[in-house]
Amino acid sequence: MNNAIRHTWVVSVGLFITLFAALSIIQVGVTDELNANPNNVRQLYEDRGAPRGAITVDGTAIAESVPSDNSSFDYQRVYNEPDLYSGITGTYSIAEPATGLEGTLNEYLSGQSDSQFFDRIASVFTGDTMDGGQVELTLDGELQQIAYDLIPEGTRGSIIVTEVATGDIKAMAAKPSYNNNDLAIQDSAQYVENKAELETNPDLRYTSPAISNSIAPGSTFKLVDLVAMLESGDYDAETVLDNPNSITLPNTTAELPNFERGICEQRPEADLAWIVAQSCNTPFAEAALELGQDPLRESAEAFGWNSEDLGIPLDVATSTFPEDLSDDVLAQSAVGQQSVTATPLQMNMVASAIANGGTLMKPNLVDAIRGSDLQLLSSSEPEVLSEATSEDIADEITEMMIGVVETGTATRAQTGNFQVAAKTGTAEIGDTGLVNSWITGFAPADDPQYAVTVAYERIDYDTGSSLTAPQLLTMLEAAIE
């Protein structure tokens, strides 16, 4: 090889390396800076009109980009079956940052993740438009539809179904919902008008209330109490406890009664299993005062209370069990009132952990993420969040939850197909006459597969109690059969 050819070859290689380095710096090092530049109008139009990846359920797109009729944008984001999924997918709009999974997984959907780097490089050389990554959800479309249809219009309801062994969320439906296509339009003025119209509904939440509303859980919280009580060694299912119809809260003149619509007043003393089945308040309040707040808080936190970093990957509102409670507040919190709050997902985590022998699996919505060529970029694996309690205690609580369905407050969840374990809850809302109506449970009780939680906010007692247990059974039957 003569010197001229050698020098030409060296220069060519050097230019290629320089070009590759420059592209790498632009694609990785300063992409965010360039994209965020307010003068970069071209980038804004490219981003808002880019072909984002699809979000799918059962292989069918529930969010996708289609060619746009707007001359300024190449693609339009479209949401299919928005009432079922808007609180999960969120919205990608021209006016505001993306919400829901559109925001949380934006780097994959837009094709900007590190794992899609070489796809971006290839698109530079080929000139082809690069599609974003595809997000495949754990949801079951049929279960999601059933859950949504069960919730009556005009109510504030949530239904969650999870797979006990994995934590995978199979359904997460809620009302009121909204049509996120109204916010994905490519006309700023129309966007403002549509958003104002949506927000005339004060109950609307852009993220599913199943994970965004942390409310009083009522007697479903007694499952957490039971863990603390049984772990203390001072209680078991046969322990006989005083069951006064009401107690005076410490250092106050206020009374904490048993629920007046129940039958707790029939037994001034009763074993713990019967107390759980009939959801009597006063024995749990007195047990909380006897144990002190620390064991209850420790049990709650083992199930996820006070955790601020639970991503499924959507952000989840924090379920709270405060510190430094006065005795009167502690007694009320032990029965799911006053200071303790929970999201429907949190109560589902409690039921699921008990069903799973005390092992709490991390809830998860995303099964897999694939590149534009469907190459697997990321897949979910079951993840243990904590050992919330021992298997023996979980089994003992399961037996008491079976009693709730067979002879207690959840008899409407009975079926001849399999045995159901559940716990009901009713949280009174001040003097409004309204309640939060709850049930959480799992089945089959002897070999748990699915956990279901149903929650209604600010509903009258009769309506709420007529909905919760039958809907839990419907969802369990649909999931199992």
**Which residue range is the domain that position 280 belongs to?**
149-170+210-480
- Whole-model pTM: value is 0.88
pLDDT at position 51, please?
Answer: 86
CATH code, domain with 215: 3.40.710.10
Residue 382 has pLDDT above 50, yes or no: yes
pLDDT at position 40, please?
Answer: 43
Residue 329 has pLDDT above 80, yes or no: yes
Residue 377, in any domain of the structure:
yes
- Report the C-alpha gap between 232 and 381 in whole angstroms: 34
DSSP state letter for 358: T
Residue 82, in any domain of the structure:
no
Residue 265 structure tokens: 């007043």
pLDDT at position 81, please?
Answer: 97
Q: What whole-number percentage of the chain has pLDDT above 90?
A: 77
- The CA radius of gyration of the chain, in Å to the nearest whole number, is 27
Q: What are phi and psi of 4, to 5 degrees?
A: -60, -45
HSE value, Cβ hemisphere, 13 Å, CA-based, for 333? 25
- Report the C-alpha gap between 243 and 314 in whole angstroms: 42
Residue 425, in any domain of the structure:
yes
CA dihedral defined by 358, 144, 206, 184, rounded to 10 degrees? 140
Residue 27 has pLDDT above 60, yes or no: no
Residue 41, in any domain of the structure:
no
Looking only at the bridges linking them, the beta strands covering 435-443 and 134-137 are: unpaired
Residue 447, in any domain of the structure:
yes
Segment among 40-44, 74-78, 112-116, 185-189 with least mean pLDDT: 40-44
Residue 310, in any domain of the structure:
yes
What does the pLDDT look like over 80-136, one tens digit per residue? 999 999 999 999 998 899 999 999 999 999 887 665 544 544 554 444 455 789 999
Mean pLDDT of all residues belonging to the chain: 90
CA quadruple 304, 310, 314, 316: dihedral sign: positive
Residue 66, in any domain of the structure:
no
- Name the domain count of the chain: 1
What does the pLDDT look like over 215-231, one tens digit per residue? 999 999 999 999 999 99
Active site residues: 219
Residue with tokens 């748990």: 448
Residue 4, in any domain of the structure:
no
